[in-house]
């Protein structure tokens, strides 16, 4: 168990260092698509990507705590392998995203899938250093995966245009959020980062593509209501497990 906890901590650090080792990435190059995606409605406003800072930091702190304080705890070991796979893929994602949006989309869905498994297996104890950071990470990946899918669909002119792909991305992100949260209903903080992304999509499209803005805002509002209700519902259990 110690070896796996060491590998997971190293992977989290490597993942967090990605923006420094791959400088210059500011989103997919519009010209990588046959139909250049210069201002796609499915993409959140630029400020939203600042969420990566807290995600990186929280994951490094969490995996460091797991290494030094919980390396021999079997409850902490169950989530380590899928989270390790997700973070290893994440560490390689930026270089891939700079050259291939198709492969980047495939990889980010792999990150989401393995992060969701890790969330389902995350320990109940040490909430803020155990399952909460994984939930926060998985929530953002839920929105980011479908934004990437929408960019790829519109950029390669697959069946629909940019606005329809934005609708598809928002609806699928919302549906996936409900499914993933259903795997671990005692951690509603998962919704926080998904709501952040949907609100940023609404902000990006407000006054320009109003239908996309309203759809994203509606999705964010519904998830926020569920999140608050789940916080209230599971508060005694979380207090006891903290």
- DSSP-assigned letters across all residues of 112-143: HHHHHHHHHH--SSSGGGTHHHHHHHHHHHHH
How distant is the alpha carbon of residue 52 from its chain centre?
A: 9
Helix 162-183 vs helix 101-121: angle between axes, to the nearest 10 degrees? 20
In a domain, 31, yes or no: no
In a domain, 32, yes or no: no
Model confidence band, residue 30 (pLDDT cutoffs 50, 70, 90): confident
Q: What percent of the chain has pLDDT over 70?
A: 96
Is residue 87 within 8 Å of 12, Cβ to Cβ? yes
Is residue 59 within 8 Å of 128, Cβ to Cβ? no
In a domain, 35, yes or no: no
3-state secondary structure of 98: coil
Count of structural domains, the chain: 1
Whether the predicted pLDDT of 34 surpasses 90: no
In this predicted structure, what is the pLDDT of residue 237?
54
Domain of residue 127 covers 2-20+43-241
Report, as an integer, the average pLDDT of 92-111. 94
**Which residues have CB under 8 Å from 104's CB, separation 6+?**
28, 93, 96, 97, 148
Whether the predicted pLDDT of 242 surpasses 70: no
| pLDDT tens digits, 220-233 | 999 999 999 888 88
Both tokens of 159, joined, read: 């069946």
**Cα(49)–Cα(141) distance, integer angstroms:** 11
Q: Sort 5 into a burial class: Cβ within 10 Å, 0-12 / 13-18 / 19+.
A: buried
Model confidence band, residue 240 (pLDDT cutoffs 50, 70, 90): very low
User: What is the CB neighbour count within 10 angstroms for residue 232?
Assistant: 10
Mean pLDDT, the chain, as a whole number? 91
Is residue 198 within 8 Å of 76, Cβ to Cβ? no
In a domain, 94, yes or no: yes
Question: Which pTM value belongs to this model?
Answer: 0.92
Report, as an integer, the average pLDDT of 16-28. 81
User: What is the CB neighbour count within 10 angstroms for residue 99?
Assistant: 10
In this predicted structure, what is the pLDDT of residue 241?
52
In a domain, 26, yes or no: no
Range scoring the smallest mean pLDDT among 61-70, 126-135, 152-161: 152-161
In a domain, 27, yes or no: no
Whether the predicted pLDDT of 236 surpasses 70: no
**Cα(153)–Cα(18) distance, integer angstroms:** 26
């Amino acid at each position: 168990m110690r070896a796996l906890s060491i590998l997971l901590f190293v992977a989290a650090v490597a993942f967090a260092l990605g923006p420094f080792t791959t400088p210059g990435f500011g989103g997919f190059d519009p010209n990588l698509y046959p139909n250049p995606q210069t201002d796609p409605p499915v993409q959140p406003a630029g400020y939203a990507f600042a969420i990566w800072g807290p995600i990186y930091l929280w994951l490094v702190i969490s995996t460091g705590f797991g290494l030094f304080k919980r390396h021999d705890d079997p409850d902490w070991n169950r989530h380590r392998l899928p989270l390790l796979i997700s973070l290893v893929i994440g560490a390689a994602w930026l270089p891939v995203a700079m050259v291939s949006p198709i492969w980047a989309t495939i990889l980010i869905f792999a990150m989401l899938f393995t992060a969701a498994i890790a969330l389902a297996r995350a320990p109940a104890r040490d909430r803020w250093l155990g399952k909460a950071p994984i939930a926060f990470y998985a929530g953002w990946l839920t929105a980011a995966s479908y934004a990437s899918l929408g960019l790829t669909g519109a950029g390669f002119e697959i069946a629909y245009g940019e606005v329809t792909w934005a609708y598809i991305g928002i609806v699928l992100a919302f549906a996936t959020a409900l499914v993933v949260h259903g795997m671990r209903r005692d951690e509603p903080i998962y919704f926080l980062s998904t709501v952040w992304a949907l609100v940023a999509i609404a902000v990006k499209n407000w006054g320009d593509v109003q239908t996309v803005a309203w759809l994203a805002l509606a999705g964010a509002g519904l998830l926020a209501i569920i999140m608050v209700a789940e916080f209230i519902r599971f508060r005694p259990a979380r207090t006891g497990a903290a």
